[in-house]
Amino acid sequence: MLYLFLFSLLIQVFFAWWYRYRPAVHASLAADALPGVSILICGKNEAEHFRRFLPHVLDQSYAGAWEVLVVNDGSTDHSAAVLTALQQDFPLLRVLTIDPATEKTFPGKKYALWQGLKQCTYNLVLLTDADCMPAGKDWLHHMAAAYQGVKQQAPQQSYFVLGYGAYEQKPGLLNAFIRWETVHTFMQYTSWARAGYPYMGVGRNLMYERGPVLQALDQDDNFTALFRRTASGDDDLIVSYLALSQQAVIVDHPDAKTISTVKETWSEWWKQKTRHVSSGKYYSERVKRGLAVYAFSGLLFWLSAIALLCTGNQKIQIIVLILLLLRIGIYSILNRKWCRALDEKGRKAFSPLGDLMWVGYNIILMPYIFFKNKQQWK
């Protein structure tokens, strides 16, 4: 058991290095150098969210050309009236309405996304969600400038931009874990992206060129068939596809993040998570193995540590306790650096508990990752 503990500890230390924080480069460009951008939002029965959050999206201080396109996907609430009223105050808002009776070729949100990409004015598209707002007025600028900064250096290369999508801060253990897990997930997928293996992004803060995506959906039969298999996971599938020929750009500036509404009950959150992870089975084999080794070594570390601390050998207990505290310290520092960079307040001290809860969360979530697909959006 001691050797198992030491072996899992070594793996965990390696991943602490793999997931170390490295600052992203934040570009600052003149107005005439900024690209045209279409902000794309797909929503179904999101009237109250449109009323609350869309004005913040429409109030960006972006010096380049831009628009906001909302796809109202068969809503039966008063979304249409809310959007029409907002258009009176914000002329750059465009609305694409999908009739509820429309026969869809893709499940869930994916059909709305496909139709929206076709209607965007600009090739560069920034995606976010209806229940989401930018952290400030410079969100669009930071995302577009990061893209254009690298594009100017290598115009022949295509890029996509991975941004951070935070959640509202509220009291309670669930909220603390959700926000810790969100930072932890960003830490993982951006670290893999830096190593040249992007596997996911979050649709509430993701930017890419629409041309290659539309070409894949219209002409690549294999990708189109894969896109039909799950209702969610469109962002992960698209990122994995783009990663075959494009490079990822990481944006971690606090003003470049978005903030989404957060689930307030464990059952609502669990339903959301099981829907979001349904595309995990389609990650590359290298990424799946790496993520599995990281998660499984964490499980072995905690189980073996607890088992050894419960034995009667005092010498082993002391060694295990010291190494356990060392590992907790390393990951607490790691978490603190990521939280500071992303301006996630109040999550630094939660790291040991969040780490332990994440182990149990992975065990329960595993069947949903590998076996279950969700076909319903809303």
Distance separating alpha carbons of residues 361 and 188, to the nearest angstrom: 16
Q: What is the mean pLDDT of the chain?
A: 90
- pLDDT tens for 133-188 read 999 999 999 999 999 999 999 999 999 999 999 999 999 999 999 999 999 999 99
Considering the domain boundaries, does residue 281 fall inside one?
A: no
Tell whether 356 is covered by a domain: no
Residue-wise DSSP of 290-337: HHHHHHHHHHHHHHHHHHHHTSS-HHHHHHHHHHHHHHHHHHHHHHHH
pLDDT in tens, 212-225: 999 999 999 999 99
For residue 370, pLDDT beyond 60: no
Least confident of 14-23, 170-179, 341-350: 341-350
Q: In this model, does residue 373 exceed pLDDT 60?
A: no
| Domain limits for position 117 | 31-173+196-264
Instruction: Please indicate, yes or no, if residue 15 is contained in any of the structural domains.
Output: no
Residue 354 lies in a domain: no
pLDDT tens track for 240-273: 899 989 999 999 999 999 999 999 998 898 887 7
Q: Which two tokens stand for residue 75?
A: 């809503």
Name 329's Cβ contacts closer than 8 Å, sequence gap at least 6: none
What pLDDT does residue 376 have?
Answer: 52
Helix (H) or strand (E) holding 39: strand 37-43
pLDDT at 262: 94
31 DSSP 8-state letter: G
pLDDT at 29 (0 to 100): 77
CATH of the domain at 213: 3.90.550.10
Higher model confidence: residue 97 or residue 275? 97
Number of domains forming the structure of the chain:
1
In a domain, 158, yes or no: yes
**Closest among 100, 241, 266 to 176, alpha carbons compared:** 266
Q: Does the residue 332 lie in any domain?
A: no
- In whole angstroms, what is the distance from residue 321 CA to residue 308 CA? 9
Residue 102 reports pLDDT greater than 60: yes
The pLDDT, as a whole number, for residue 278 is 61
Rounded distance between C-alpha atoms, residue 97 and residue 100, angstroms:
9
Indicate the pTM of the whole model: 0.91
206, part of any domain: yes
- Residue 343: the pLDDT is 93
Residue 220 counted as domain residue: yes
Which one is predicted more confidently, 279 or 338?
Answer: 338
